Amino acid sequence: MLHNVKDNYIISVKDHVSQFEEKSFRKLASNDFKSWPSPREETWRLSRLGFLSRKEITPIKPNLKKQISSVSKFKGSKIIRFVDGALREDLSSKLPQGASLKILGEKDSLRCFHKFKDSNLKNHPSTNVSFSCTPSIVKLTIEKDVKIKDLFEIIYEGGDDYTSVHPALYIELKDNSIITIIERFNHLSSLIMPLQLVELKKNASINSLKIFNDNQQSYNLSANCTFLSEKSNYNSFSLIKGGLFTRSETHAYLKGENCNLNLNGVYLSCKNQHHDLTTAIYHDVPNCTSKQIVRGVLGGKSTGVFQGKVRVAPDAQKTDGQQMSRAILLSENAIANAKPELEIYADDVICAHGATVGEIDDDQLFYLKSRGISEKKAKQILIRAFLKDIINESVEESIQNYVFEEAELALSEIISKEI
Amino acid sequence: MGNLNYLTNIGRKMPLLEIKNAKLKLDNKDILKGLSLSVNRGEVHAIMGPNGSGKSTLSYMLAGRDGYELASGEVFLEGQSLSDMEADERARSGLFLAFQYPVELPGVGGMSFLREAVNSRRKFLGEEELDHLAFVKEARKVASKMFVKDEMLKRAVNVGFSGGEKKRFEILQMAMLKPKVSILDETDSGLDVDALKIVSDGVNAQRNDENAIVVITHYQRLLDYIVPDFVHILSDGNIIKSGGPELALEVEKNGYAGLINAA
Ligand SMILES: Nc1ncnc2c1ncn2[C@@H]1O[C@H](COP(=O)(O)OP(=O)(O)OP(=O)(O)O)[C@@H](O)[C@H]1O
Ligand SMILES: [Mg+2]
């Protein structure tokens, strides 16, 4: 079965390539795509892609005239819109000074491709498929010393059943620049394979919020590769709630001293959803900190996966790496898997990790009930608090309410079914 | 009308809280071994006893914690058996437990927690639920009496509170909920001298002819502030001696050994 699809898919990819110019990075990428990862591959063991065999999927031909109706939730935000995986400048905002968007040419695209191929995302299916199928790689640059005050909102939408979409975005923050970016994935496609390359130059800071909210039948295999230079900050929070199968995979390379990474996330899953947060943090130099808090709430027959690798290179002394994951199962049929993976080759480091999967805390529940609050209400309070706590800790104050409302949409559905 | 009065009078004559021959096992180990205790309106009872004698177990059993169901015996609150009542129902009916170790609730704001609790009880009593503003006003008033800063009510419940702050917050909850029977499990432990006075004043302010308080403590000192009508010594799952305030002084002076041996 799988072979069939693979062949189908490769044929589709090749067809698709011919729609565009025959650029070398596309060829390289499509030649490299041998097959979907097998469940024997360690990082795909808990998130299997066999489902792809049930559908024949063809990369979408972006319709550059497609009209969209989604609106921004923020007044005055700067919107960048991808429809069918292609940048739609006509539906995007004019960017403020110091920020620019551009479609990369052959040489720069090839450079991006090699960044991925040199990373541990080299065998991620999105790397090869999307580099060969993306309409174009879009680059967002924030110039040196520029502190962007406007909120940037990147909305990915469009797509169709039986098609795949391949948005590719390269974000470069030059020295001392600062920005807050909200990304929303709202596709209708069967398969979504976003690529993202982030480069933070010296002392640059990004607050990144990603909301995965694709169509309930879709599969999202997002791949993010981030490089942090000296004193840079990457503060990232992902909220996964949509899709039938959503895996957000992030690999962060801490390359300059005194940089700081927060890679937090929440998954809210119900029905038969499968949500997966896979991260790899590479401490390659001394004196950096990374912190990860991941939480999940699961109902129905859903599955949650958290895989968190932290690698501390022999030279990376004084590394401070923290990782905590916790999943709450509200239904007997839900499953949560947590797989922390610490590879520490330096000796002078502080690294802590903990992973728990379970039910609502008994002590907390009893405390609330002992105050006259019904069990049902108490559980609701505790589940909401579980998320509020991490949201407040992870995202900046001005967007906390928004994130909480977004989470609440999925949460209220889980709560009404399970509590 | 006359009938109703008659019923109420009967209600008033029976103990507010009555524990009859309570036996309880934890992990197949006998912890409470046939304990009986009667508490009437307007009374303050102190329970003292060595570590591990079953004091907290007794308080959890009364509050209705899962796993602390009686193997035999019964407990009545105003004549109503508690055995079929869940913890939240008992609390709404007027039972309050100040925890020996108050539980941290990350992400649960103090003010909304209090409001949820108070409104649950008000609803049960057939009183109108308080709206946000009215509630905040009331909570601040009570808090200031307990020297609890407004800022503490904005924080997550018990998270990052000092030991003493947690205990003060427990008594603040008691003051807001106006329970009929309060069980204070070592509310004095971890309090400095000034806080002990504040907390005791807070408790005393709530003493009246209609309610009752059971104070669990290791220290006679607390009983100088909250003067009990009765003192009970709990040892190995049973009350082995009861008396007046002088019994606490005796414990303070001679320890439990003599009392336990005599029993
Ligand atoms: N879950 C349990 N399973 C078995 N034994 C338990 C359990 N919980 C408590 N115990 C035991 O029950 C006994 C009574 O404990 P309890 O906490 O009620 O004592 P206490 O009188 O409150 O002590 P302290 O003065 O230290 O607070 C102890 O011996 C304790 O070890
Ligand atoms: Mg105790």
Structural domains of chain B sorted by starting position, each given as residue range(s) with its CATH number in brackets: 16-105+179-262 (3.40.50.300)
What are the tokens at B133? 């503003």
Please indicate whether, in this complex, the C-beta atoms of A389 and B173 are within 8 angstroms of each other: no
Residue positions counted in chain A: 419
Question: Looking at the partner chain, which of A368, A370, A385 has a beta carbon nearest the beta carbon of B63?
Answer: A370
Q: How far is the CA of B142 from the centre of ligand 1 (A)?
A: 33
Please indicate whether, in this complex, the C-beta atoms of B120 and A366 are within 8 angstroms of each other: no
| Residue B11 pLDDT > 60 | no
Ligand 1 atom 30: residue of nearest CA? B52
Give dist(CA A133, CA A85) in Å, integer. Answer: 10
Pick from A213, A214, A245, A238: which is nearest to A224 by CA? A238
In the predicted model, what is the mean pLDDT of residues A393-418? Answer: 96
Q: Is residue A376 very low, low, confident or very high in pLDDT (cuts 50, 70, 90)? A: very high
Q: What is the pLDDT of residues A138-180, one digit of tens each?
A: 999 999 999 999 999 999 999 999 899 999 999 999 999 999 9
- Distances, alpha carbon A246 to alpha carbons A38, A174, B162, B223, in Å: 17, 31, 42, 61
3-state secondary structure of B229: coil
Q: Is the residue at A341 inside a domain?
A: no
Give dist(CA A57, CA A43) in Å, integer. Answer: 23
Q: Which ligand 1 atom sits closest to the C-alpha of B52?
A: 19
- For residue B1, the model assigns a pLDDT of 38
- How large is the greatest C-alpha to C-alpha distance in chain B, in angstroms? 57
Please indicate whether, in this complex, the C-beta atoms of B116 and A382 are within 8 angstroms of each other: no
Q: Which residue type does A211 have?
A: I
Q: Is B105 on the interface with A (CB under 8 A)?
A: yes
> Within a 10 A sphere around the Cβ of A134, how many other Cβ atoms?
28
Pocket test for ligand 1, best of B53, B62, B69 (most atoms within 8 A of CB): B53
Which residue, chain included where needed, has tokens 């999202």? A220
**Ligand 1 shell residues, CB under 6 Å:** B 26-27, 29, 31, 49, 51-57, 100
Instruction: Kindly identify the ligand whose nearest atom is closest to the C-alpha of B60.
Output: 1
Q: Is residue B5 very low, low, confident or very high in pLDDT (cuts 50, 70, 90)? A: very low
Which of the residue ranges A126-135, A278-287, B110-119 would you say has the lowest mean pLDDT? Answer: A126-135
Which regions of B27-71 does DSSP assign to beta strands (E)? Answer: 29-39, 44-48
What are the tokens at A160? 């169709």
Starting at the edge strand that comes first in sequence, how are the strands of the sheet with B181-185 ordered?
B95-98, B181-185, B212-216, B44-48, B230-235, B238-243
Pick from B29, B92, B27, B31: which is nearest to B59 by CA? B31
Q: Is the residue at A332 inside a domain?
A: no
Question: Looking at the partner chain, which of B63, B116, B124 has a beta carbon nearest the beta carbon of A381?
Answer: B116
Taking CA–CA distances from A363, the nearest residue in chain B reads: B103
Q: What is the pLDDT of residues B16-66, one digit of tens each?
A: 999 999 999 999 999 999 999 999 999 999 999 999 999 999 999 999 999
Which of the residue ranges A8-22, A63-77, A267-281 would you say has the lowest mean pLDDT? Answer: A8-22
Q: Is the residue at A178 inside a domain?
A: yes
Q: Is B113 on the interface with A (CB under 8 A)?
A: yes
Give dist(CA A197, CA A113) in Å, integer. Answer: 10
Helices (H), B105-192: 110-124, 132-145, 150-154, 163-177
Buried b (16+ CB within 10 A) or exposed e, B174-190: bbbbbbbbbbbbbbbbb
Q: Is the residue at A111 inside a domain?
A: yes
- For residue A67, the model assigns a pLDDT of 92
Q: Is the residue at A283 inside a domain?
A: no
Q: Is the residue at A203 inside a domain?
A: yes
Q: Is the residue at A179 inside a domain?
A: yes
Which residues in chain B are contacts of A392 at CB distance < 8 A?
107
Q: Who surrounds ion ligand 2 at CB < 5 A?
A: B 55-56, 100
Q: How far is the CA of B53 from the centre of ligand 1 (A)?
A: 7
Q: Is the residue at A279 inside a domain?
A: no
Residues 6+ apart with CB under 8 A from A69: none
Residues 6+ apart with CB under 8 A from A371: B88, B91, B113, B116, B117, B120, B173, B177
In the predicted model, what is the mean pLDDT of residues B119-136? Answer: 93
Ligand 1 atom 16: residue of nearest CA? B54
Q: Is residue A12 very low, low, confident or very high in pLDDT (cuts 50, 70, 90)? A: low
In the predicted model, what is the mean pLDDT of residues B149-163? Answer: 93
Which residue, chain included where needed, has tokens 């039986």? A162
- For residue A13, the model assigns a pLDDT of 64
Distance (Å) from the alpha carbon of A387 to chain B's nearest alpha carbon: 8
Q: How far is the CA of A279 from the centre of ligand 2 (A)?
A: 44
- For residue A181, the model assigns a pLDDT of 98
Q: Is B240 on the interface with A (CB under 8 A)?
A: no
Q: Which ligand 1 atom sits closest to the C-alpha of B54?
A: 18
What are the tokens at A262? 């927060």
Give dist(CA A250, CA A226) in Å, integer. Answer: 8
Domain count along chain A:
1
Q: What is the pLDDT of residues A341-350, one digit of tens each?
A: 999 999 999 9
| Residue A263 pLDDT > 60 | yes
Q: Is B171 on the interface with A (CB under 8 A)?
A: no
Residues 6+ apart with CB under 8 A from A105: none
Taking CA–CA distances from A381, the nearest residue in chain B reads: B108
Q: What is the pLDDT of residues B194-210, one digit of tens each?
A: 999 999 999 999 999 99
Q: Which residue type does A54 have?
A: R
Please indicate whether, in this complex, the C-beta atoms of A366 and B103 are within 8 angstroms of each other: yes
DSSP-derived pairing of the beta strands A99-103 and A137-142: antiparallel
Please indicate whether, in this complex, the C-beta atoms of B64 and A364 are within 8 angstroms of each other: no
Pick from A163, A167, A170: which is nearest to A198 by CA? A170
Taking CA–CA distances from A366, the nearest residue in chain B reads: B65
Give dist(CA B184, CA B62) in Å, integer. Answer: 12
- Mean pLDDT score across all residues of chain B: 93
Which residues in chain A are contacts of B88 at CB distance < 8 A?
368-375, 378
Which regions of A188-256 does DSSP assign to beta strands (E)? Answer: 191-192, 195-200, 205-212, 219-228, 233-240, 245-254
Which of the residue ranges A31-45, A88-102, B141-155, B213-227 would you say has the lowest mean pLDDT? Answer: A31-45
Please indicate whether, in this complex, the C-beta atoms of A364 and B103 are within 8 angstroms of each other: yes
Range of the domain at A60: 8-256
Predicted-complex ipTM score = 0.95
Q: How far is the CA of B55 from the centre of ligand 2 (A)?
A: 5
Give dist(CA A109, CA A24) in Å, integer. Answer: 9
> Within a 10 A sphere around the Cβ of A262, how many other Cβ atoms?
20
Which residues in chain B are contacts of A375 at CB distance < 8 A?
86, 88
By CB atoms closer than 10 A (0-12, 13-18, 19+), residue B132 is exposed
Give dist(CA A329, CA B239) in Å, integer. Answer: 42
Residues 6+ apart with CB under 8 A from A178: A142, A146, A147, A148, A204, A205, A206
Q: Which residue type does A273 have?
A: Q
DSSP tag of B67: T
What are the tokens at B32? 């409470």
pTM value is 0.93
| Residue A380 pLDDT > 90 | yes
Please indicate whether, in this complex, the C-beta atoms of B120 and A374 are within 8 angstroms of each other: yes
Give dist(CA A404, CA A339) in Å, integer. Answer: 26
- Angle (CA) B131-B137-B138 rounded to 5° is 85
Residue positions counted in chain B: 263
Starting at the edge strand that comes first in sequence, how are the strands of the sheet with A233-240 ordered?
A86-87, A78-83, A152-158, A178-187, A205-212, A233-240, A260-269, A289-298, A320-329, A350-358
- Distances, alpha carbon A120 to alpha carbons A201, A227, B115, in Å: 21, 13, 51
- For residue A2, the model assigns a pLDDT of 35
| Residue A17 pLDDT > 80 | no
Residues 6+ apart with CB under 8 A from A90: none
Q: What is the DSSP string of A299-339?
A: -TT-EEEEEEEEEE-TT-TT-EEEEEEEEEE-STT-EEEEE
Pocket test for ligand 1, best of B47, B51, B100, B222 (most atoms within 8 A of CB): B51
Distance (Å) from the alpha carbon of A378 to chain B's nearest alpha carbon: 9
Q: What are phi and psi of B50, to 5 degrees?
A: -60, 165
- Point out which residues pair with A199 in neighbouring strands: A172, A227
Those residues of chain A whose CB sits closer than 8 Å to some CB in chain B are 362-364, 366-375, 377-378, 381-382, 384-389, 392
Residues 6+ apart with CB under 8 A from A276: A46, A47, A245, A246, A247, A248, A249, A267, A304, A305, A306, A307
- For residue B263, the model assigns a pLDDT of 73
Q: What percent of chain A has pLDDT over 70?
A: 94
Q: How far is the CA of B237 from the centre of ligand 1 (A)?
A: 10
Q: Is residue A4 very low, low, confident or very high in pLDDT (cuts 50, 70, 90)? A: very low
Which of the residue ranges A373-377, A385-389, A391-395, B256-260 would you say has the lowest mean pLDDT? Answer: B256-260
Q: Which ligand 1 atom sits closest to the C-alpha of B237?
A: 14
